[in-house]
Structure 1
Amino acid sequence: MSNTTLRKIDFSFLRAVELTAVLLIAMMGAAVTTLMPLLVGAYSDSGSFTSVQVGWLTSADVAGILLASTSAYVWSRRVNWRLVTLISLSVFILCNYLSTITSEFEPLLLVRFFAGVACGCAYALSLCALGDHKNTDKAFGALVTIQVLFGTIGFWLLPEITAQQGFSGIFHFFNLCLIPALILSALTYPSNSKTQSHTVMSIDGSYYAAALIFFGVVAYYFAQGTVWAYLERIGVVANLSGVEIGQILAVGFALSALGSLLSGKCVAMFGRNAGLWATAVIQLPCLLLLYNMDSQHAFWIYAITTIIYQVMWSFVVPIMMAIFNDIDKSGKLIALCIAAFKVGLVVGPPVAAVVVSIGHINDVIWLGGIAIVVSIVLCIVANNHLKQRISSHNVSA
């Protein structure tokens, strides 16, 4: 075998290692959001925290990720990716370990916030690396696939693990997935291929429409911070076992990929507004059934409604992101879409916790339903404003 052939094999192997490392990190960047129902359940079952404290603990990781991912707009193209990633992953792993030996609220809250910051730094750089990939469609497609696989495995296995180990089991599971990412990143990691030419946020489009879609996405993810975060608790109140809930959520998470596949076809045939309305029309009855669920038929009602709910979540997010992207011709606004996701997820759990503390667990369902309606209306108004702007531009041209 010639030296040229060997060099090609070595290069291909290194590229495969790089991509695997990036995908594992990006997978873990969404881990807290993905497994949020189990995290809320584990915190609650520990008996160490009040319902309000559970809400704040759930938001702590997301708040750290929000801070890191938002600030990454400024620093992501100015740092040594490999060095920052190795430091971030090491801190993330350390914080997860400290979380397994910490049971007091204030120290755990602080540890989880720093875990979120470390996670967010590594996550932001992994998304930049995937964006620089020569085939971004395949790269982001692989990301969705590995995140769905992670969520499916997590929902299937963790209920039994947390029943034995409490919330520590979740953080051990995180580290089990993070250590391979750290090892691979130490071997090789992509380098920044683009220089950052801007530090000031400005867009080439309507700030009014940008504000509408931003707060529309915030409202939708506020609903997820209420309904999704407390979905495990809702099942427990309906007398479902932790294993049954985990299996149902695992199946729903696996099937949710169908939503993103159907989204593009629906938009092509009927337009974005139709897709947005369809989300509200389908998700709201699911929430209504969930709210009025009786123990006799709880298993099937919970299974059917949560699976459909997850499919429609995957269905509507690409539509929201497309509106987000098209409002700004410069392509910079889309960077704040992740921030909008996280703002909703930071605010949702504490608000839901307060509602639960003064009412009933099912009250988070109507809270989430209102947020979904607000979100869909804001997104439709933003999309209509975008269409009018495009139409007027075409006329003037």
Structure 2
Amino acid sequence: MITNRHNPPHFYINSELLNYLPLLFAAVVGAGSSLLMPSVIGAYTNYSQLNPSQISMMTSLEMLGVLITSASSFLWLRLINFHKVVFMMLMLLFITNSINMLFVSVNFPTYSLLFIRFLAGLETGIIYAIAVVAIAKQQNAVKLFSSLISCQIAYGTIGFSCIAGISQYLGLASIYIFFNFFILLTLIICFFCDGFSGNDDLNHKQNGTFKSNYKNSLILLKVVLAIALYYVVQGSVWAYIEPIGISLGLTPLQIGSILSLGFTLSIIGSLWSLKIYKLLGQRLTVWLIILLQVICLLVLNYIKASPWTLYLFAITTIVYQILWSLIVPLMMTLLSLIDNTKYYSAWSISAFKIGLIVGPLLAATIINLSGYELLINISCVLLVTSGLLLSHTLKNHFIKSPFK
């Protein structure tokens, strides 16, 4: 049962550390489909009758659902009870994924599957938006955002291995078995650990505290644009990193192993982010990250097939992924500091999705016109532009205390 937020049931575990778990697990569920998208696309390619355009449409509709709910979240977040809605959406997502398993097993019409994944995207977006805003409302939000990236990396590492292993026996059902297992685990955690009720109390107290003005709107626009541009690069270059590696003479197995290792090691960035920002300062760290990532991309552009190609490809891609996990917590924190209601924190999700939708489309267009070299050069320009927007925001508007 879900009780009123003012009267938590006797079985809640009242521990500050444990009460962060529902926030983190719910946010990981929200990011799950995006994190494991390569495995999902691979499974549908290998085990379904859908063609590549239908598979792309399916994943795009799911991301569109997340984008719609996260972009509109500032309108509805103040009207709801966080804990009850998250619990309800988790149950609905569990049911939606179960229906999806039935559909793929009996070959329902394609449009039915597309609708189911769009519905799953709406549910996922609601869960993700609430979890991110709930994290932003915590006093140690910066640390929790860093922990969130670490949890997402761990989830992705486990998911890639599990889905690859069991899909050989269960086919497409393996995707939704893994999703539902983690959703069920999150439901249990939310049932026993009341991590959202404090946010509901704060939610009601802060309903009228946001003051919309030109300054806040300008900061919001700059940060959202910075995140979106950064993720356009993630959605363009990284969507085609395997073909780029193959063009350098590497095998798909070598590339897959390197990227899996890099994704696992990227947890280093999120775990050390607070210490690095405190040591070097926020603006300097941002520029170091952008500079090193630009160098990594340019190395990919200019290395030629040689005995050293494998090592150069491995170093550049692994370093790039570690730097990604270092800068994302800062991006999410910036949006949480725009106003004291924290509702606009969820727009980081919208910016992620915009970048991941635009990125592959941009990459396909550029590659058809000119090839990978131009794509990498444009991506470097986008990274620098994102860095400029972040740096300008940090210089003029950022509250320094969260990183102290």
TM-score (norm 1): 0.77
2:401 equivalent in structure 1: none
- Tell me, yes or no, if the aligned pair for 1:210 and 1:382 is still in contact at 8 Å: no
Secondary structure of 1:12's aligned partner: coil
2:40 equivalent in structure 1: 39
Extract unaligned runs of 5+ from structure 2: 1-7, 399-404
Within 5 Å, give how 1:79-158 maps onto structure 2: 79-100=80-101, 101-102=103-104, 105-132=110-137, 136=141, 139-158=144-163
- Specify the code of the residue in structure 2 equivalent to 1:254: T
Partner Cα distance (1:273, 1:203) in 2: 25
Pick one of 335, 357, 380 that aligns with 1:346: 357
- Specify the code of the residue in structure 2 equivalent to 1:343: I
Pick one of 228, 235, 245 that aligns with 2:238: 228
- Tell me, yes or no, if the aligned pair for 1:287 and 1:366 is still in contact at 8 Å: no
1:248 aligns with 2:249: no
Secondary structure of 1:197's aligned partner: coil
2:385 equivalent in structure 1: 377
- Tell me, yes or no, if the aligned pair for 1:225 and 1:344 is still in contact at 8 Å: yes
Structure 1 position 267, deviation (Å): 4.6
CA offset digits 1:15-34 (Å, max 9, x no partner): 77754444322211111222
Q: 1:227 to 1:172 in 2, by over 3 A?
A: farther
Partner Cα distance (1:332, 1:91) in 2: 23
2:175 equivalent in structure 1: 170
CA offset digits 1:92-122 (Å, max 9, x no partner): 1233233333366433332211111111112
Within 5 Å, give how 1:1-397 maps onto structure 2: 12=13, 19-46=20-47, 48-100=49-101, 101-102=103-104, 105-132=110-137, 136=141, 139-186=144-191, 189=194, 190-191=196-197, 192-194=200-202, 195=204, 196-198=206-208, 202-203=212-213, 205=215, 207-231=217-241, 240=251, 247-264=257-274, 267-268=277-278, 271-290=281-300, 294=305, 300-321=311-332, 324=335, 333-352=344-363, 358=368, 363=372, 367=375, 370-381=378-389, 383-384=391-392, 387=395
Secondary structure of 1:193's aligned partner: helix
CA offset digits 1:337-381 (Å, max 9, x no partner): 23212221233344445667x579x74x85365245224324414
Partner Cα distance (2:178, 2:246) in 1: 22
CA offset digits 1:43-72 (Å, max 9, x no partner): 444474444444333332222122222222
Q: 1:135 to 1:200 in 2, by over 3 A?
A: closer
CA offset digits 1:239-262 (Å, max 9, x no partner): 6456x6555334322321222355
Q: 1:366 to 1:323 in 2, by over 3 A?
A: farther
Partner Cα distance (1:38, 1:147) in 2: 15
Partner Cα distance (1:213, 1:134) in 2: 21
Question: Aligned Cα RMSD in Å?
Answer: 4.0
CA offset digits 1:72-94 (Å, max 9, x no partner): 22222322334322331122123
Q: 1:114 to 1:349 in 2, by over 3 A?
A: farther
Structure 1 position 178, deviation (Å): 1.0
- Tell me, yes or no, if the aligned pair for 2:137 and 2:342 is still in contact at 8 Å: no
Partner Cα distance (1:297, 1:46) in 2: 36
- Tell me, yes or no, if the aligned pair for 1:203 and 1:333 is still in contact at 8 Å: no
Q: 1:368 to 1:171 in 2, by over 3 A?
A: farther
- Tell me, yes or no, if the aligned pair for 1:96 and 1:115 is still in contact at 8 Å: yes
Q: 1:205 to 1:122 in 2, by over 3 A?
A: same
Q: 1:366 to 1:87 in 2, by over 3 A?
A: farther
- Tell me, yes or no, if the aligned pair for 1:55 and 1:353 is still in contact at 8 Å: no
**Matched residues, number:** 380
Partner Cα distance (2:279, 2:217) in 1: 29
1:4 equivalent in structure 2: none
Structure 1 position 220, deviation (Å): 0.9
244-253 or 222-231, which deviates more = 244-253
- Identity value in percent: 31
CA offset digits 1:176-223 (Å, max 9, x no partner): 211222344355643212215249882472644543332121111112
Partner Cα distance (1:170, 1:293) in 2: 37
Structure 1 position 313, deviation (Å): 0.8
CA offset digits 1:302-348 (Å, max 9, x no partner): 43332112111112224444555566688665442232122212333
- Tell me, yes or no, if the aligned pair for 2:143 and 2:274 is still in contact at 8 Å: no
- Specify the code of the residue in structure 2 equivalent to 1:149: A
Partner Cα distance (2:124, 2:144) in 1: 20
CA offset digits 1:270-329 (Å, max 9, x no partner): 554443443343223433454667597675454333211211111222444455556668
Q: 1:275 to 1:368 in 2, by over 3 A?
A: farther
Q: 1:48 to 1:169 in 2, by over 3 A?
A: same
Q: 1:147 to 1:21 in 2, by over 3 A?
A: same
Structure 1 position 388, deviation (Å): 5.6
Structure 1 position 387, deviation (Å): 3.1
Partner Cα distance (1:154, 1:107) in 2: 26
